[in-house]
Structures are given as structure tokens and as C-alpha cells.
Amino acid sequence: MNPSLVSIVRYEKPYESVQKAVELAGGLSHLKPSDHVFIKPNIVFWTTKTVIPKWGVITTSRVMEDMVRLLKDLGIHHITIGEGSVTADPKDKETQFHAYEALGYKTLEKRYGIKCVSILARPFTKVDLGDGMKLSFSSDVLESDAVIDLPVLKTHAQTTVSLGIKNLKGTISIPSRKRCHNADPVMNLHRWVARLSDSMPPVFTLIDGIFSNERGPAFDGRMRRSNLLIASNDIFAVDKVGARVLGYAPDEVPHLKYYAERHQRPLDLSDVEVKGEALEDVADAYQYDFQYTEDGALPKPMAKMGIQGVSYYKYDLSMCTYCSGITGAVLTAISMAWKGQPWDDVEVLTGKQMSPRPGKKKTILLGQCMCKLHKDNPDIQEAILVDGCPPDPKAVVAAFHQAGIKVDPNIIENYEQLPGFLMARYKDKLEFEEAFFKIE
Ligand code: SF4
């Protein structure tokens, strides 16, 4: 069998760099002008409330326009861009289009005659992925002739890396996303992610590494200007190379291990030919995980502050995006509420599989999954319930106040605005150009 081509190209110029990455990876000439092509960027989260730092989090509009232009130059008529971004309110159908407007996609619609859709406002088709695993995928994606997958070069706190395969999670419905974050110790998140590309039409992946993200996938990671593009017609091959670029051997990435097992592919690069830059010249070391104390009871920076009397256990694979979204704000609010006096042995349980620990006086059950599982648990001395999916920020504040932790309501109730405060990190850093997220 011929090896799969994966290109690694330094980003130097608009259009030409993307064109080179695509050509070295074997090109897209197999596409016919009549084909319907679906482009899936990575716009992991969006809000209308503030300007968010997009570097290393969101696919650059530069790469998006270059890819659209390339497809148009190949004579492709039917091009759709679609994403299923997470927003603060899962029922919100408007914010997706605000993202498209802000990222210049509306200009692309006018300039190139393409269309933009919100995946979460469109129909889904249930797909049987085997072993009883069923997920509802965007019908638009499944019915297209080809998918262009444009993930960002980033690590991920739960899945180690988030590249071509993981980016396809944005094409499934919200209930399906929750199913992926289940509490089954065997059929866990990694196994579901490993199957996300199985039912797809042919996928061409171009990893946008103009900016990259250490301790991703969100705004609170450490961003780098990396100027890399990595592309292939083989999603597994490009993910293996992308993982290496981020400093991880593919066998350190559980979903790549499961993919290899299922498709009987090697985990090393023996079935891959890298074109362009040498892998060892561009690979670097990225941490993927947020650092917690050894017992997993508190993030290390909070432990360093001397915070005592509260345990906010490390997230596990079962915590889905909506609960993750509020976590950063809650931890910030707890840190700011610390006045040097230990709180009254409070613990916070999140996700779908955590258990209370003996001796805790108050247990906050954050989210509907924890409430359902533990509301009558006899091991809990005082249960404080924050029901709902996602949990209501006002109820979160009330729960912490009931537990004696006087968090500032503004921080939690306006958690959508938190990414905006991180913009200050990039002020006067010329390598982080907002222009990459605009279409002129
Ligand atoms: S409550 Fe949280 S963990 Fe449970 S399904 Fe909702 S978002 Fe996921």
C-alpha cells in the first residue's frame, strides 16, 4: 500500500501557503465541479458579549478564505461552511451567525457565492457506529460529497490533542455530544471520538497552525505563533503527524490508539510520507493538561495561594462542554473570594461519575448529572444541589453562598465575558494579529 501523504508547510503568504500545503498533500483535483463540499472550521465557542481572543482557539479566517478560493479555482460551485459552536444558551440560534459575521464569512458568501449554515439549527441523521454506539450527525455534512476539515493546532485537556478527528465532534447534535462524555469506564469519550470520522464522506484535513494552543482547547491556554499548515487526504495520518508536532507520540493519544485498533493501522508513521518541512524541525513540546494537586483536589495555582477548606476535584472525561464552560469562572470566583480563612470542608462534584469523599461537611452537586446521581447519597452530610443542564449561573452562586464561600456573583453570572479579559495578554504582542480573523 502506498503511504499517505501529509504535508507540513510554513505559513508565509496568503493563498500560496495553503495552496502549497494542499498540493504537497496530493491535492484536491479528485473533486468534481458538481460536488457539494462542506467546510468545517473550529469555532469552539462564541459569544456576542465580548471580543474573545481567537489565536490558537478558532480557525483563522485567512486559512478559511484561502481554502474557499482554492475550491472556487477548482471550479467547485456548491460550498457550505458550517459549525456547531457552543454558546452560553444551548437554545440560542443567533450567535452562530454573529460569529460568521465577525469572522468575515458573510463577506465570503458575497464574494464567492458560498453559504454558511448553523449545524445546530439544521437536521441530524442518526448513525450506527457499531457496538451499540449511535450518534446524530449533521445531515448536511453526511450528504455532502466531500468534507474540508479545518481544525486548529491545539492540545486538549481531556483528549490530549484536538485535531482533524476531534474537530468533527462539532458536527454532532448536543445530545450526542453529551453521550460521548458518558460515565462508562470502557466506552468512554476516547472511544466515541475515535469513531467520529467513520461515517464521513471523504475528508481533506488542513490543520491551521498559524497559531497553536498549549493547554487547550479554549481561551485560557497558552498560545503560540507557530506559522504551520499540516494537510492530508488521510485524517488519521494528519492527526498522527499533528500530534507529533505538539510533542505527543500517537500512542499517547487514546482516541488515535482506538482508531488504529479499529482500522488496523500502525500507530507509528510507517504508513505516512511527510512532504515539505521535516517533522523534527517543527515538532515542539506542549503540555495538554491543567495542573492539579496530587490528590486532584485543587488546581495547583489555587493550592499555591494557600486555599483551604474547599475541594474542587479535577474534571474527568464525563464532564461535557457546558459544565466545562462555567468551571473557569467558578474557580476564578473561588480564588477571589479567598480571604485566608479556611472554609468549612466543602467539596464540589462535577461531570457524571464523581463520588463524594468521606468527612466532607458540604457537597455541592454541580449540574443535573451529579444531582441525579447523588441527591440521596447517604455518604453526603449536606448536599447543595445545582440542578439543570447547563447549570444556571445564579443557582451556582447561591450554592456557593450557602456553602459559606462568598463568590462574586458578577464573575459567575457574566462568565461569557471572561474570555474578553484575557485579551489584555495579547496587547502589544505583534505576533498575535487580529487581522488573521478578518476578511478584507
Ligand atoms: S449537567 Fe453537565 S455533565 Fe451533565 S450533561 Fe449537562 S453539561 Fe454534561
Q: What's the average model confidence in pLDDT over 291-318?
A: 97
Cβ atoms of 243 and 250 closer than 8 Å: yes
Q: What's the average model confidence in pLDDT over 59-65?
A: 98
Cell 461531570 belongs to residue: 351
Q: What is the pLDDT of residue 91?
A: 86
Residue 181, Cβ neighbours under 10 Å: how many?
A: 23
For residue 320, the ligand 1 atom closest to its alpha carbon is: 8
Spatial separation of the C-alpha atoms in residues 320 and 368, rounded to whole Å: 12
Q: Please tell me if the CB atom of residue 395 comes closer than 6 angstroms to any atom of ligand 1.
A: no
Spatial separation of the C-alpha atoms in residues 135 and 140, rounded to whole Å: 15
Q: Which of 173, 317, 320 to mutate to test the pocket of ligand 1 (most atoms within 8 A of CB)?
A: 320
Q: What's the average model confidence in pLDDT over 21-27?
A: 97
Q: Please tell me if the CB atom of residue 352 comes closer than 6 angstroms to any atom of ligand 1.
A: yes
Q: What is the pLDDT of residue 93?
A: 85
pTM (two decimals): 0.97
Q: What's the average model confidence in pLDDT over 47-74?
A: 97
In tens, the pLDDT along 332-386 reads 999 999 999 999 999 999 999 999 999 999 999 999 999 999 999 999 999 999 9
Spatial separation of the C-alpha atoms in residues 163 and 250, rounded to whole Å: 12
Of 10-24, 53-67, 408-422, minimum mean pLDDT range:
408-422
Spatial separation of the C-alpha atoms in residues 310 and 326, rounded to whole Å: 17
Q: Which of 91, 180, 372, 389 to mutate to test the pocket of ligand 1 (most atoms within 8 A of CB)?
A: 389
Residue nearest to atom 5 of ligand 1 (CA): 178
Mean pLDDT, the chain, rounded, equals 97
What are the grid coordinates assigned to 225, written together?
Answer: 505563533
Cβ atoms of 82 and 122 closer than 8 Å: yes
pLDDT interval class at 88 (50, 70, 90):
confident
Cβ atoms of 331 and 368 closer than 8 Å: no
Spatial separation of the C-alpha atoms in residues 143 and 96, rounded to whole Å: 21
> Does the pLDDT at position 89 exceed 90?
no
- Residue 416's beta-bridge partner residues? none
> Does the pLDDT at position 85 exceed 80?
yes
Q: Please tell me if the CB atom of residue 369 comes closer than 6 angstroms to any atom of ligand 1.
A: yes
Q: Please tell me if the CB atom of residue 325 comes closer than 6 angstroms to any atom of ligand 1.
A: no
Q: Which of 86, 317, 322 to mutate to test the pocket of ligand 1 (most atoms within 8 A of CB)?
A: 322
For residue 350, the ligand 1 atom closest to its alpha carbon is: 3
For residue 352, the ligand 1 atom closest to its alpha carbon is: 3
Q: Please tell me if the CB atom of residue 326 comes closer than 6 angstroms to any atom of ligand 1.
A: no
Cβ atoms of 323 and 391 closer than 8 Å: yes
The ranges assigned to domains in the chain are 4-288+433-437, 300-407
Query: Distance between the two ends of the chain, CA-based, in angstroms?
Result: 44
Q: Which of 319, 324, 349, 385 to mutate to test the pocket of ligand 1 (most atoms within 8 A of CB)?
A: 319
Q: What is the pLDDT of residue 90?
A: 83
93 — phi, psi (to 5°)?
A: -110, 0
What are the helix (H) ranges across 272-389?
279-282, 300-304, 321-337, 368-374
Q: Please tell me if the CB atom of residue 216 comes closer than 6 angstroms to any atom of ligand 1.
A: no
Spatial separation of the C-alpha atoms in residues 371 and 225, rounded to whole Å: 42
Q: Domain 4-288+433-437: give its CATH code.
A: 3.40.50.11440
Q: Write the burial class of residue 377 (CB in 10 Å: 0-12 exposed, 13-18 middle, 19+ buried).
A: middle
Report CA(174)–ligand 1 centroid distance (Å).
11
Residue nearest to atom 2 of ligand 1 (CA): 323
Smallest Cα–Cα separation from 255: which of 150, 141, 146, 167?
167
Residue nearest to atom 8 of ligand 1 (CA): 320
Q: What's the average model confidence in pLDDT over 183-210?
A: 97
Spatial separation of the C-alpha atoms in residues 392 and 345, rounded to whole Å: 24
Spatial separation of the C-alpha atoms in residues 274 and 279, rounded to whole Å: 8
Report CA(245)–ligand 1 centroid distance (Å).
32
Q: What's the average model confidence in pLDDT over 253-278?
A: 98
> Does the pLDDT at position 156 exceed 80?
yes
Neighbouring residues of 121: CB distance < 8 A, sequence distance ≥ 6: 93, 96
> Does the pLDDT at position 1 exceed 80?
no
Cα-Cα-Cα-Cα dihedral of 412, 413, 419, 422, to 10°? Answer: -60
In tens, the pLDDT along 128-152 reads 999 999 999 999 999 999 999 999 9
Q: Please tell me if the CB atom of residue 388 comes closer than 6 angstroms to any atom of ligand 1.
A: no
In tens, the pLDDT along 401-431 reads 999 999 999 999 999 999 999 999 999 999 9
